[in-house]
Protein backbone atom coordinates (compact mmCIF):
# COMPACT_ATOMS: atom_id res chain seq x y z
CA UNK A 1 0.00 0.00 0.00
CA UNK A 2 1.62 3.28 -1.04
CA UNK A 3 2.53 5.63 1.77
CA UNK A 4 0.68 8.90 1.88
CA UNK A 5 2.70 12.05 1.43
CA UNK A 6 2.96 14.30 4.50
CA UNK A 7 0.50 17.13 4.73
CA UNK A 8 2.27 20.44 4.14
CA UNK A 9 2.06 22.89 7.01
CA UNK A 10 -0.55 25.59 6.85
CA UNK A 11 0.93 28.94 5.86
CA UNK A 12 -0.37 32.03 7.61
CA UNK A 13 0.61 34.91 5.26
CA UNK A 14 0.39 37.54 7.98
CA UNK A 15 2.59 35.51 10.32
CA UNK A 16 5.14 34.81 7.59
CA UNK A 17 5.43 38.48 6.66
CA UNK A 18 5.72 39.46 10.30
CA UNK A 19 8.53 36.94 10.79
CA UNK A 20 10.35 38.21 7.68
CA UNK A 21 10.08 41.84 8.82
CA UNK A 22 11.27 40.92 12.30
CA UNK A 23 14.27 39.19 10.75
CA UNK A 24 15.15 42.31 8.78
CA UNK A 25 14.84 44.43 11.93
CA UNK A 26 17.01 42.12 14.02
CA UNK A 27 19.74 41.78 11.40
CA UNK A 28 19.74 45.50 10.62
CA UNK A 29 20.10 46.21 14.34
CA UNK A 30 22.99 43.74 14.50
CA UNK A 31 24.85 45.51 11.69
CA UNK A 32 24.14 49.01 12.98
CA UNK A 33 25.33 47.93 16.41
CA UNK A 34 28.80 47.39 14.95
CA UNK A 35 29.13 51.13 14.24
CA UNK A 36 29.26 52.00 17.94
CA UNK A 37 31.86 49.32 18.70
CA UNK A 38 34.25 49.73 15.78
CA UNK A 39 37.28 51.76 16.82
CA UNK A 40 41.01 51.50 17.45
CA UNK A 41 41.05 47.72 17.10
CA UNK A 42 39.60 48.02 13.59
CA UNK A 43 42.27 50.56 12.62
CA UNK A 44 44.93 48.25 14.09
CA UNK A 45 43.54 45.35 12.06
CA UNK A 46 43.71 47.33 8.82
CA UNK A 47 47.27 48.44 9.55
CA UNK A 48 48.33 44.90 10.44
CA UNK A 49 46.88 43.50 7.20
CA UNK A 50 48.58 46.22 5.16
CA UNK A 51 51.91 45.17 6.68
CA UNK A 52 51.49 41.52 5.66
CA UNK A 53 53.89 40.37 2.94
CA UNK A 54 51.98 37.14 2.38
CA UNK A 55 48.27 36.40 2.34
CA UNK A 56 45.34 36.81 4.68
CA UNK A 57 44.32 33.25 5.62
CA UNK A 58 40.64 33.25 6.60
CA UNK A 59 39.37 30.43 8.82
CA UNK A 60 35.99 29.49 10.26
CA UNK A 61 33.76 26.49 10.91
CA UNK A 62 30.16 25.88 9.93
CA UNK A 63 28.22 29.00 9.01
CA UNK A 64 31.20 31.15 10.00
CA UNK A 65 33.21 29.13 7.50
CA UNK A 66 30.77 30.01 4.73
CA UNK A 67 31.07 33.66 5.72
CA UNK A 68 34.86 33.27 5.78
CA UNK A 69 34.94 31.97 2.22
CA UNK A 70 33.02 35.02 1.05
CA UNK A 71 35.27 37.41 3.00
CA UNK A 72 38.38 35.78 1.52
CA UNK A 73 36.94 36.15 -1.97
CA UNK A 74 36.05 39.80 -1.36
CA UNK A 75 39.51 40.59 -0.01
CA UNK A 76 41.21 38.88 -2.94
CA UNK A 77 39.10 40.73 -5.52
CA UNK A 78 39.77 44.12 -3.93
CA UNK A 79 43.55 44.06 -3.73
CA UNK A 80 44.30 42.03 -0.59
CA UNK A 81 45.68 38.55 -1.39
CA UNK A 82 43.61 36.08 0.62
CA UNK A 83 42.53 32.46 0.78
CA UNK A 84 40.26 30.30 2.93
CA UNK A 85 41.60 27.34 4.90
CA UNK A 86 39.17 25.00 6.64
CA UNK A 87 40.18 24.56 10.31
CA UNK A 88 39.39 20.83 10.35
CA UNK A 89 41.54 20.26 7.27
CA UNK A 90 44.27 22.44 8.78
CA UNK A 91 44.64 19.92 11.60
CA UNK A 92 45.32 17.22 9.02
CA UNK A 93 47.99 18.82 6.88
CA UNK A 94 46.58 22.05 5.48
CA UNK A 95 48.23 24.01 8.28
CA UNK A 96 51.34 23.78 6.11
CA UNK A 97 49.66 26.25 3.76
CA UNK A 98 50.09 28.99 6.36
CA UNK A 99 53.50 30.67 6.28
CA UNK A 100 55.20 33.06 8.68
CA UNK A 101 54.62 35.93 6.22
CA UNK A 102 50.84 35.36 6.34
CA UNK A 103 48.12 36.60 8.69
CA UNK A 104 45.21 34.56 10.02
CA UNK A 105 41.72 36.05 10.20
CA UNK A 106 39.71 33.64 12.36
CA UNK A 107 35.91 33.87 12.58
CA UNK A 108 33.76 32.34 15.31
CA UNK A 109 30.77 33.81 17.12
CA UNK A 110 31.36 31.77 20.28
CA UNK A 111 35.14 31.74 19.94
CA UNK A 112 35.15 28.21 21.32
CA UNK A 113 34.90 26.03 18.21
CA UNK A 114 37.23 23.11 18.94
CA UNK A 115 38.47 22.62 15.37
CA UNK A 116 39.63 26.23 15.42
CA UNK A 117 40.91 26.64 18.98
CA UNK A 118 43.04 23.49 18.78
CA UNK A 119 45.23 24.96 16.03
CA UNK A 120 45.59 28.46 17.52
CA UNK A 121 48.69 27.62 19.63
CA UNK A 122 50.40 26.21 16.53
CA UNK A 123 49.59 29.34 14.53
CA UNK A 124 50.93 31.54 17.33
CA UNK A 125 54.16 29.50 17.61
CA UNK A 126 54.77 30.20 13.93
CA UNK A 127 54.70 33.90 14.70
CA UNK A 128 51.69 34.43 12.43
CA UNK A 129 49.57 37.46 13.43
CA UNK A 130 46.02 36.51 14.42
CA UNK A 131 42.95 38.73 14.05
CA UNK A 132 39.67 37.43 15.47
CA UNK A 133 36.12 38.30 14.49
CA UNK A 134 34.06 36.99 17.40
CA UNK A 135 31.02 37.71 19.48
CA UNK A 136 32.77 37.01 22.79
CA UNK A 137 35.72 39.06 23.97
CA UNK A 138 36.44 36.53 26.77
CA UNK A 139 36.59 33.49 24.49
CA UNK A 140 39.56 31.23 23.79
CA UNK A 141 39.84 32.68 20.30
CA UNK A 142 39.87 36.25 21.62
CA UNK A 143 42.57 35.40 24.21
CA UNK A 144 44.87 34.03 21.52
CA UNK A 145 44.25 36.88 19.08
CA UNK A 146 46.54 39.88 18.61
CA UNK A 147 43.53 41.98 17.59
CA UNK A 148 39.86 41.32 18.38
CA UNK A 149 37.00 42.70 16.29
CA UNK A 150 33.77 42.55 18.26
CA UNK A 151 30.93 41.24 16.08
CA UNK A 152 28.63 40.25 18.92
CA UNK A 153 24.85 40.49 18.54
CA UNK A 154 22.08 40.80 21.10
CA UNK A 155 20.12 37.89 19.62
CA UNK A 156 19.74 35.78 16.53
CA UNK A 157 16.88 36.31 14.10
CA UNK A 158 16.04 32.64 14.57
CA UNK A 159 13.00 32.49 16.94
CA UNK A 160 14.81 29.74 18.85
CA UNK A 161 17.87 32.02 19.13
CA UNK A 162 19.95 29.10 17.88
CA UNK A 163 20.51 29.19 14.09
CA UNK A 164 23.33 31.61 13.16
CA UNK A 165 21.51 34.46 11.41
CA UNK A 166 22.14 37.91 12.86
CA UNK A 167 25.60 36.81 14.01
CA UNK A 168 26.68 35.70 10.53
CA UNK A 169 25.24 38.89 9.05
CA UNK A 170 27.38 40.90 11.48
CA UNK A 171 30.45 38.82 10.60
CA UNK A 172 29.86 39.42 6.91
CA UNK A 173 29.45 43.15 7.44
CA UNK A 174 32.65 43.32 9.49
CA UNK A 175 34.52 41.47 6.74
CA UNK A 176 33.14 43.82 4.10
CA UNK A 177 34.14 46.82 6.20
CA UNK A 178 37.69 45.48 6.41
CA UNK A 179 37.84 44.86 2.66
CA UNK A 180 36.54 48.34 1.82
CA UNK A 181 38.86 50.06 4.29
CA UNK A 182 41.82 48.14 2.85
CA UNK A 183 40.72 48.93 -0.71
CA UNK A 184 40.63 52.62 0.15
CA UNK A 185 43.98 52.55 1.96
CA UNK A 186 45.66 50.86 -1.01
CA UNK A 187 44.22 53.36 -3.50
CA UNK A 188 42.62 50.42 -5.31
CA UNK A 189 40.72 51.85 -8.30
CA UNK A 190 38.21 50.72 -10.89
CA UNK A 191 40.96 49.63 -13.30
CA UNK A 192 42.53 47.47 -10.57
CA UNK A 193 39.11 45.95 -9.93
CA UNK A 194 38.67 45.30 -13.64
CA UNK A 195 41.98 43.42 -13.78
CA UNK A 196 40.66 41.14 -11.04
CA UNK A 197 37.40 40.64 -12.97
CA UNK A 198 38.41 40.40 -16.65
CA UNK A 199 35.40 38.26 -17.47
CA UNK A 200 32.87 40.65 -15.99
CA UNK A 201 31.09 43.60 -17.53
CA UNK A 202 33.32 46.11 -15.76
CA UNK A 203 36.43 44.27 -16.86
CA UNK A 204 35.33 44.33 -20.48
CA UNK A 205 34.56 48.04 -20.30
CA UNK A 206 37.82 49.05 -18.66
CA UNK A 207 40.23 46.60 -20.27
CA UNK A 208 38.97 46.28 -23.87
CA UNK A 209 40.59 48.76 -26.24
CA UNK A 210 39.62 49.75 -29.76
CA UNK A 211 42.76 47.96 -31.00
CA UNK A 212 41.35 44.69 -29.59
CA UNK A 213 38.14 44.98 -31.61
CA UNK A 214 38.78 46.98 -34.75
CA UNK A 215 38.90 45.62 -38.29
CA UNK A 216 42.25 46.08 -39.95
CA UNK A 217 44.00 45.68 -43.29
CA UNK A 218 41.88 44.51 -46.20
CA UNK A 219 38.82 44.25 -43.93
CA UNK A 220 38.62 48.05 -43.68
CA UNK A 221 36.48 49.48 -46.51
CA UNK A 222 38.18 52.42 -48.24
CA UNK A 223 38.04 54.21 -51.57
CA UNK A 224 39.79 57.20 -53.15
CA UNK A 225 37.91 60.50 -53.51
CA UNK A 226 37.66 60.01 -57.27
CA UNK A 227 36.10 56.53 -57.02
CA UNK A 228 32.80 56.18 -58.86
CA UNK A 229 29.58 55.70 -56.97
CA UNK A 230 29.46 52.09 -58.19
CA UNK A 231 32.97 51.43 -56.88
CA UNK A 232 32.02 53.01 -53.56
CA UNK A 233 28.94 50.77 -53.24
CA UNK A 234 30.87 47.61 -54.14
CA UNK A 235 33.48 48.37 -51.49
CA UNK A 236 30.89 49.11 -48.84
CA UNK A 237 28.86 45.98 -49.64
CA UNK A 238 31.83 43.62 -49.77
CA UNK A 239 33.28 44.62 -46.38
CA UNK A 240 30.01 44.49 -44.44
CA UNK A 241 30.68 47.49 -42.21
CA UNK A 242 27.74 49.53 -43.39
CA UNK A 243 30.10 52.33 -44.32
CA UNK A 244 33.28 53.02 -46.25
CA UNK A 245 36.08 55.46 -45.59
CA UNK A 246 37.30 57.89 -48.21
CA UNK A 247 41.07 58.35 -48.04
CA UNK A 248 43.49 60.66 -49.82
CA UNK A 249 46.66 59.58 -51.65
CA UNK A 250 48.58 59.31 -48.37
CA UNK A 251 45.91 57.17 -46.73
CA UNK A 252 44.42 59.83 -44.47
CA UNK A 253 40.73 59.53 -43.67
CA UNK A 254 39.08 62.58 -45.19
CA UNK A 255 35.50 61.36 -45.39
CA UNK A 256 32.98 58.59 -44.83
CA UNK A 257 29.85 57.31 -46.60
CA UNK A 258 27.33 55.16 -44.73
CA UNK A 259 24.16 53.13 -45.30
CA UNK A 260 22.23 56.03 -43.82
CA UNK A 261 23.77 58.43 -46.32
CA UNK A 262 22.76 56.09 -49.16
CA UNK A 263 19.16 55.92 -47.92
CA UNK A 264 18.91 59.68 -47.71
CA UNK A 265 20.39 60.07 -51.22
CA UNK A 266 17.93 57.56 -52.68
CA UNK A 267 15.01 59.33 -51.00
CA UNK A 268 15.89 62.56 -52.84
CA UNK A 269 15.34 60.76 -56.15
CA UNK A 270 18.49 62.11 -57.85
CA UNK A 271 20.69 60.17 -60.29
CA UNK A 272 23.68 58.83 -58.33
CA UNK A 273 25.52 57.05 -61.14
CA UNK A 274 27.62 60.04 -62.18
CA UNK A 275 28.72 60.98 -58.67
CA UNK A 276 32.07 60.23 -57.09
CA UNK A 277 33.00 59.37 -53.50
CA UNK A 278 34.10 62.98 -52.95
CA UNK A 279 30.62 64.16 -54.03
CA UNK A 280 28.69 62.09 -51.50
CA UNK A 281 31.03 61.64 -48.56
CA UNK A 282 30.77 63.33 -45.17
CA UNK A 283 33.94 65.33 -44.64
CA UNK A 284 35.70 65.31 -41.28
CA UNK A 285 34.52 61.84 -40.17
CA UNK A 286 34.37 60.85 -36.49
CA UNK A 287 37.59 59.04 -35.61
CA UNK A 288 39.27 57.37 -32.65
CA UNK A 289 42.77 56.27 -31.78
CA UNK A 290 43.53 52.58 -31.42
CA UNK A 291 44.46 52.97 -27.73
CA UNK A 292 41.01 54.36 -26.84
CA UNK A 293 38.75 52.14 -24.77
CA UNK A 294 35.95 50.26 -26.46
CA UNK A 295 33.49 51.99 -24.13
CA UNK A 296 34.73 55.36 -25.48
CA UNK A 297 33.85 54.19 -28.99
CA UNK A 298 30.37 53.25 -27.75
CA UNK A 299 29.91 56.66 -26.14
CA UNK A 300 31.05 58.42 -29.35
CA UNK A 301 28.59 56.43 -31.45
CA UNK A 302 25.75 57.13 -29.04
CA UNK A 303 26.55 60.83 -28.79
CA UNK A 304 26.58 61.34 -32.56
CA UNK A 305 24.00 58.67 -33.41
CA UNK A 306 26.33 56.75 -35.70
CA UNK A 307 26.93 53.02 -36.04
CA UNK A 308 30.56 52.95 -37.12
CA UNK A 309 33.75 54.89 -36.49
CA UNK A 310 37.12 55.08 -38.23
CA UNK A 311 40.37 54.43 -36.38
CA UNK A 312 43.39 56.56 -37.25
CA UNK A 313 46.97 56.96 -36.06
CA UNK A 314 48.66 60.13 -34.81
CA UNK A 315 49.06 61.39 -38.39
CA UNK A 316 45.43 60.75 -39.29
CA UNK A 317 46.24 57.70 -41.41
CA UNK A 318 43.41 55.16 -41.55
CA UNK A 319 44.40 51.98 -39.67
CA UNK A 320 41.07 50.42 -38.77
CA UNK A 321 37.31 50.62 -38.43
CA UNK A 322 34.82 49.64 -35.77
CA UNK A 323 31.06 49.10 -35.84
CA UNK A 324 28.46 48.95 -33.11
CA UNK A 325 28.05 45.24 -33.91
CA UNK A 326 31.74 44.69 -33.09
CA UNK A 327 31.18 46.29 -29.69
CA UNK A 328 28.08 44.18 -29.07
CA UNK A 329 29.85 40.94 -29.97
CA UNK A 330 32.61 41.80 -27.49
CA UNK A 331 29.89 42.60 -24.89
CA UNK A 332 31.30 46.07 -24.35
CA UNK A 333 27.70 47.25 -24.74
Q: What is the mean pLDDT of residues 15-27?
A: 93
Q: Residue 25 above 90 pLDDT?
A: yes
Q: Residue 110 above 60 pLDDT?
A: yes
Per-residue buried b or exposed e for 72-96, using 16+ beta carbons within 10 Å of the residue's own CB: bbbbbbbbbebbbbbbbebeeebbe
Q: What is the mean pLDDT of residues 295-319?
A: 89
Closest alpha carbon to 279 in 219, 231, 221, 218 = 231
Q: Which residue has the higher pLDDT, 283 or 197?
A: 283
pLDDT band at 206; cut points 50, 70, 90: low
The verdict on pTM exceeding 0.75 is no
Q: Residue 1 above 80 pLDDT?
A: no
Query: pLDDT digits over 128-169, tens only?
Result: 999 999 999 999 999 999 999 999 999 999 888 888 899 999
- Let me know how long the chain is: 333
- Distance in angstroms (rounded) separating the CA atoms of residues 176 and 48: 16
pLDDT band at 205; cut points 50, 70, 90: low
The strand ranges marked E within 209-291 are: 222-223, 243-247, 253-258, 282-283, 287-288
Terminal Cα-to-Cα distance of the chain (whole angstroms): 60
pLDDT band at 203; cut points 50, 70, 90: low
- Distance in angstroms (rounded) separating the CA atoms of residues 181 and 82: 15
Specify the CATH number for 210-329; select among 1.10.940.10, 1.10.510.10, 3.40.50.1980, 3.10.580.10. Answer: 3.10.580.10
Q: Mean pLDDT of all residues in the chain?
A: 87
Contacts of 127 (CB under 8 A, 6+ apart): 100
The strand ranges marked E within the chain are: 56-60, 82-84, 103-108, 130-134, 147-150, 222-223, 243-247, 253-258, 282-283, 287-288, 308-312, 318-323
The percentage of residues in the chain with a pLDDT greater than 90, rounded to a whole number, is 51
Residue ranges of the domains in the chain?
A: 17-188, 210-329
Q: Residue 188 above 80 pLDDT?
A: no
User: For residue 23, how far is the Cα from the chain centroid?
Assistant: 29
Instruction: Tell me if the domain spanning 17-188 has CATH number 3.40.50.10490.
Output: yes
pLDDT of the residue at 263: 86
Amino acid sequence: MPSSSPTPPVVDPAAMLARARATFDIEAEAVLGLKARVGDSFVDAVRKILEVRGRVVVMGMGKSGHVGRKIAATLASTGTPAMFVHPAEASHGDLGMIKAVDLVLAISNSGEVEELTVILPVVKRQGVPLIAITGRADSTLARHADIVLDAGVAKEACPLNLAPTASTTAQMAMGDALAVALLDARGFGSEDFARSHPGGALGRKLLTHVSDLMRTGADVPRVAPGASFSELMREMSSKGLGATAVVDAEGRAIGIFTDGDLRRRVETGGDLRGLTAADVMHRGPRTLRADALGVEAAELMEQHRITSVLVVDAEGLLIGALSINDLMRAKVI
